[in-house]
Every structure is written in structure tokens, then in C-alpha cells.
Structure 1
Amino acid sequence: MAERHDHVDTVLDQWQRAAPQRDASPMATFTRLYRLFKYVDRAVAAVFREHGLHEGEFDLLATLYRSGEPQGLTPNALRAAAVLTSGAMTHRLDRLESAGYIRRVPNPEDRRSVRVRLTAAGAALLEALLDDYLACLQRLQAPLDAAQRRALGGLLRELLLPLEANDDV
């Protein structure tokens, strides 16, 4: 069976001809990751749009849903989990609250702050969206068998760990 070639193979061949003295091999991994991200981002954004959300709004709803905190989370805890500026967080919370998906309630531990809670409507939206989101991700990883998926996940973790360890977010 002939080896299959993708766009990145073409780019690497071009670099080999244009600059044979340079090692362009890291592009094999990272250009593919970048291109893959663009395809994944497009597919996932379409799922979120079908449910009237943007990725960042899904991220906030999902963080609240999976936190297991019935009292909700503080905006700072949400901001840290979603890696957002306070201005971006406020905008998203305002939009989600006006849509009825979250509500801000007084923080029983600190009267100066609030907690953000997922409403029943927010939980229902997330559950409906989650099925579509997971189905989309399943379709995207369909070319890989279970062992390949585990191996890829482990390799990506190895690349991510040192970056996260040095990140100040």
C-alpha cells in the first residue's frame, strides 16, 4: 500500500528543497497540530452555534456543570478555569445570565462576592449540547483505533505538561 501524503508533506518537501541545511522536521508535528486545530475548531464551533453558544460560553457552562459545586463557583474560580480576563468573563456571564443559563447569587462565605450557578435551563442546554459535541469529537477521531487514540493522547500530554508547568495563567 502506498504511503499517503497530506498538505504538510508537500510543505516539508518544499522546505527540504528551499533550505536543505535546516531541520524543518518539527514542522511535521506542529503544522499538523495547527491545521488539525483549525478543522476541529470549525467543526466544534458549528455544534456550539447550533445551540446558540460560542466556545467560551460552552466552556463556562461546562465548568459549572462538571464542578459538582451546587453552591456554584466564584467568578474568579471560573475565570481561572477558563483562562479569561475579568472583562471577558463579565461579558460572558452577562450574556449567559440574560439568556437564563446562569444566575449570580450572594456568596455565603464572603458577602463581598457572588457565586455563579448553573440554572436548570443551563444544565438542560449543556446536556443537549454535550451529546452533539461528543458525537462531533467521536467523528473527528474516527480514523484512529482505540490504541492509537490512547497513544496520541499520551504523546500530546507529554508536550503539554512542560508548557503548563511554566504557564502563569
Structure 2
Amino acid sequence: MPPSPRPTPSPDRLDLIGDAWRRERPDVDVRPQQVIGRLHRVAHHLTDELVAVYAQHGLTEGEFDVLATLRRVGPPYERSPGDLAAHTLVTSGGMTKRVDRLERAGLVARRVSDTDARARLVALTDRGREVIDAAFTDHMANERRLLGALTPADADELERILRTWLATLEHPPATA
């Protein structure tokens, strides 16, 4: 038995905006606005949903990112501040502020590198590992819930489309 067709969603704000632009500027293709606008709105909603879970663990989005980066490197769960900045796409100044907050909360500790006395490392504390493990478990459950709005096939197709699009945006083809 074939799957039942999905109901067509009712018109949204972007449909209304698109209709108005097509009426006022029929010479301009507004389809990109329909796609980009919806993607932008979805991203906003997703961010709100993700940040709410981080907050349940007393973390900001940036703090979750730092702790998750430290956790996924494996024991001894440490990196230099420069490595953390590179793996989280945060400036070194922004990283310092995040690490300061996490250190005050007892979730990370700074120590001198064993191989270079001038270098410092940021390491997860036992408490930091407990917090990120709990937050990550809840984060994955939340993302699974959010993705549940799509069929598995649609989620796979969306992942493929977004991977292709992101690769093109991050590594544009060379122009002649």
C-alpha cells in the first residue's frame, strides 16, 4: 500500500510576501526568496529550540560548543585555546571569554602544557564532563524530536541538498 499523500501546508507569510511581490514586480523571479526566507525562519526556530535545551543545563550555545569540542577529542579532554577557537569558529578573544566563564563555573580548568611551558591547555573537569554528557544526550533527543517533523526519506534528501549547497557556499568553484 503506497504511503498516503501529505496534506499541503496552508499558505504562510512567505506565500503572502511572494504573492505581493509577484503582483508588484512580475518581472522579478521571487522563488529564491521563498526558499531562502523559509530556510532562514526554520533556522531561527531551530536555534530557539536548541538554545532552550542548553539553558536547561546552565549553558549558552557557545559554552555548549566549547564543552562539546573538548568532550569529543577524547581523554584527556583538553585542547589549546587556539585549537578550541579553530574547532568552534570563534575568535581567540571570544574563546577567552567563554573559557573564563566555564572556568568560573568549574566546568573547565586551565593548565600549563607538558611540552611547552609557555602554552596553556583547557581541559574538561569531571564536573564539566558530567554536564556536557547530560547536555549532549538531551541535545540529541531534542534534535531527533525536531527532525521528526520530516519522514526519514525527506530528512535524508534534505541532508543531501544542504550538504551540496553548503559545500558550494564554503568552497565556491573557481571562476575563469
TM-score by length of 2: 0.88
For residue 111 of structure 2, give the secondary structure of its aligned residue in structure 1.
strand
- The Cα shift of 1:162 comes to 2.4
Unaligned 5+ segments in structure 2 are none
Match for residue 54 of structure 1 among 49, 57, 60? 60
Matched pairs, number: 166
Distance 1:71 1:145, change over 3 A: closer
Distance 1:69 1:23, change over 3 A: farther
Identity of aligned residues (%): 38
- The Cα shift of 1:21 comes to 0.4
Distance 1:64 1:71, change over 3 A: closer
Q: Max radius of gyration: which structure?
A: 2
For residue 103 of structure 1, give the secondary structure of its aligned residue in structure 2.
strand
Match for residue 3 of structure 1 among 1, 5, 8? 8
Using the alignment, how far apart are the partners of 1:103 and 1:88 within structure 2? Answer: 17
The answer on 1:45 being equivalent to 2:51 is: yes
8 Å Cα contact 1:102/1:116 also seen in 2: yes
Q: Report the counterpart of residue 66 of structure 1 in structure 2.
A: 72
Using the alignment, how far apart are the partners of 2:58 and 2:38 within structure 1? Answer: 30
8 Å Cα contact 2:79/2:122 also seen in 1: yes
Q: How does 1:127-142 map to 2 (within 5 A)?
A: 127-142=133-148
Point out 4+ residue stretches in structure 1 off by more than 4 angstroms: none
Q: Report the counterpart of residue 19 of structure 1 in structure 2.
A: 25
- The Cα shift of 1:83 comes to 1.1
Q: Which amino acid aligns with 2:96?
A: T
TM-score by length of 1: 0.91
Which deviates more, 46-55 or 129-138?
129-138
Over the aligned positions, Cα root-mean-square deviation in angstroms equals 1.6
Match for residue 168 of structure 2 among 162, 165, 169? 162
8 Å Cα contact 1:71/1:115 also seen in 2: no
Q: Deviations over 1:24-82 (max 9, x none)?
A: 11112211111001111111111111111100000000001112252611100100111
Unaligned 5+ segments in structure 1 are none
Using the alignment, how far apart are the partners of 1:69 and 1:16 within structure 2? Answer: 57
Q: Which amino acid aligns with 1:37?
A: A
8 Å Cα contact 2:71/2:77 also seen in 1: no
